[in-house]
Structure 1
Amino acid sequence: MPERAPIRTAVPVALVAAGLLLTACGTATEATAPPAAPPAAPSEITAATPAGTLGGPGTACALPASLTLAKGWKPQAVKDPENPELAPLTRQGPATVRCEVDAKPAGNIGYLRVWTAPKGPARATLEAFVKAEKGATGLVVKDVKAGALPAVEVRYSVHSEVLDDTKEERAFAVETPKGTVIVHLGGLDSEEHQEMLPAYELAKSSLKAL
């Protein structure tokens, strides 16, 4: 699925034409294009420079967890995410998007998005979230740590018919007292995705339930 543009009540026509929006949820399908390049190992990812916290009191987004942002990344709360008319843009499987962190000020094209879902097993919630993304295939799920908390992470590929390209995506999920939190990293393509991994890893390593 092509990288989604920020969620707004008015959407630029050019982005719609390019398919750069959150799409309506669909069933995961087998991609016909070759799989994306193997993901970088954590040891190969350069550490991001921390620059502020997201999720706590006084931050841009009210969330059930807090995390550290990478330098240059700009967060913004999603407006009216519970509006049923916006469901195709704000819902994916069991999750609702709450916050978008834009990588463009840091020099990349993509977003780190934070989603929330009702209380439930992190693995089942995350798998349902990914399988609701049209074109998702090749899911690799493993147990990880998000900060000091047990978490589940998935890496997968998404084939875009609009761009005729297959790209990497990944996400992790953690259970908190206020529900499940999913942090997702997409990107315009696999190269952008790889370049944004330091910010994703920083968010994962710093996450704390509130």
Structure 2
Amino acid sequence: MKKRYAVRAVAPAVLTALVLTGCGSPDGGAEAGTPSSRETKDTPAGKPVTKGGTLGAAGSACPMPVTFDFAASWTPEAVEVDPGSDFAALGEQGPVRMVCEIDAKPAGNIGYLRVWAGEPSDSEPRAVLEAFLAADPTAGKAAYTASEAGSLTAAEVTYTVSSELQDEPKTERAFAVATPDGPVVVHLGGLDSAEHQRMLPAYELAKKTLKLG
């Protein structure tokens, strides 16, 4: 079943109304784990996060070039930019387009873990992240590091986002990997830096369990 809705934020301080088509079941589809599939993970910060299901494979809420586990109570939904929308271009950031968002509100947080995917290319993960940030005029103070996502080589960036609606810049982060089907960027935002910090275990779970689809 498909529905049309407006994504609350894609590029911070830029998007006011983006018409998208979302498809997939709120509970993650066929692979959005049942209680028997849930397990506890530990993040580098030592905070436990419970697995709610797995995304990425055909039949899951968000078919993607990669698969990863998402946190319990977070609700995933596939995103398809409506080409007929006046705001369709805002569903793209640099070389990638948003394909999935995982809402943290049912888990008690305000924010999203979003997945962006691009066309096949020879670009290294760091170059993809640099282009991703370059397309966001509100991004600043970026710190890039070499990383791993599951068994894949990855690049990661922590940066700040400024807005006239906020008293101070907030922290966001993302990691990127290269796949045969194109680059994938997994991004974590949040209402503010404190909320971002509280959602980090879900981000780390996705990064730790990521595999090629």
- Does the TM-score normalized on the shorter chain lie above 0.5? yes
2:177 aligns with one of 174, 179, 195: 174
Q: Unaligned stretches of 5+ in structure 2?
A: 15-42
- Superposed counterparts of 1:61-210, under 5 Å: 61-80=62-81, 85-118=86-119, 119=121, 120-210=123-213
- Give the number of equivalent residue pairs: 181
**Helix, strand or coil at the partner of 1:194:** helix
Identity over aligned residues, as a percent?
A: 48
- Distance change in 2, residues 1:83/1:67 (3 Å): farther
AA paired with 1:185? L
Cα distance in structure 2, aligned partners of 1:191 and 1:172: 20
- 1:9 shift after superposition: 4.8
Matched letter for residue 21 of structure 1: A
Contact conserved, 1:173 with 1:182, CA < 8 A, in 2? yes
Q: For the Cα contact (< 8 Å) 2:81–2:88, is it kept in 1?
A: no
Q: Deviations over 1:95-127 (max 9, x none)?
A: 100000000001000000000122221110111
Q: Deviations over 1:45-88 (max 9, x none)?
A: 41311111000121001100001011111000113355573334
Residue pair 2:147, 2:156 contacting (<8 A) in 1 also: yes
Query: Which residue matches 1:5?
Result: none
What CA distance in whole angstroms lies between the structure 1 residues aligned with 2:209 and 2:90? Answer: 28
**Does the C-alpha gap of structure 1 residues 51 and 10 become closer, same or farther in structure 2, counting only changes over 3 Å?**
closer
Instruction: Give the strand-richer structure, 1 or 2.
Output: 2
**In 2, Cα distance between equivalents of 1:113 and 1:21:** 10
- Structure 1 residues not aligned, in runs of 5+: 1-7, 27-41
In 1: Cα distance, 2:143 partner to 2:93 partner = 19
SS in 2 for 1:165: coil
Structural RMSD (CA): 2.2
What is aligned with 2:49? 48
* Cα deviation digits, residues 136-159 of structure 1 (max 9, x gap): 111110111100111000000111
Say if 2:75 and 2:104, in contact at 8 Å, map to a contact too. Answer: yes
Q: Deviation at 1:10?
A: 4.9
Question: Is it true that 1:21 corresponds to 2:24 in the alignment?
Answer: no
- Call closer, same or farther: CA 1:145–1:23 in 2, change over 3 Å: closer
Which has a greater percent of helix? 1
Contact residue 146 and residue 154 of structure 2 kept, 8 A: yes
